Amino acid sequence: MTIRGILHASFLVSDLSISQAFYCGLLGLEIDASRPDLGFPGLWLDLGSGQQIHLMALSDSDKGRVHPEHCGRDRHVAFVVDDISELGKKLEAAGIAHASSRSGRRALFCRDPDGNALEFVERAIR
């Protein structure tokens, strides 16, 4: 048995419309309307190559948990992007705090509207 990739990552969100504005409006992801209704509010967002983010509007059992200051030291998912500078400009224009990787890599970290930690790493996409 070999793990070959990530099918989806799920995030708990408190307000689906705010999260949709962040992930679709700011980050440019598209909704996959073909996914089944699971009986609670949510959205499936396409990342390409069969990978998705599943936003679920459910109670967050971690509410009130203290998050580390730097997202890289928190639970997070990392995404490949082709232009980290462009993303940084978009986040700045939207007033979203972000930090460059401390390692010197072409990477940055931010949090979504619900405090979920996200990492973006620049790599040439083949």
Query: Which pLDDT score, from 0 to 100, does residue 125 have?
Result: 63
* Nearby residues of 125 by Cβ (< 8 Å), 6 or more positions away: 80, 82
CA 82 – CA 89 distance, rounded (Å): 14
pLDDT over 80 at 126, yes or no: no
Which CATH code fits 8-57? 3.10.180.10
Better pLDDT: 6 or 28: 28
Which pTM does this prediction carry? Answer: 0.85
* Domains of the chain, residue spans: 8-57, 71-122
Tell me whether the CATH fold assigned to 8-57 matches the one assigned to 71-122.
yes
Give me the architecture of the 71-122 domain, per CATH: Roll (3.10)
Q: What is the 8-class DSSP label of residue 10?
A: E
78-96: pLDDT as tens digits: 999 999 999 999 999 999 9
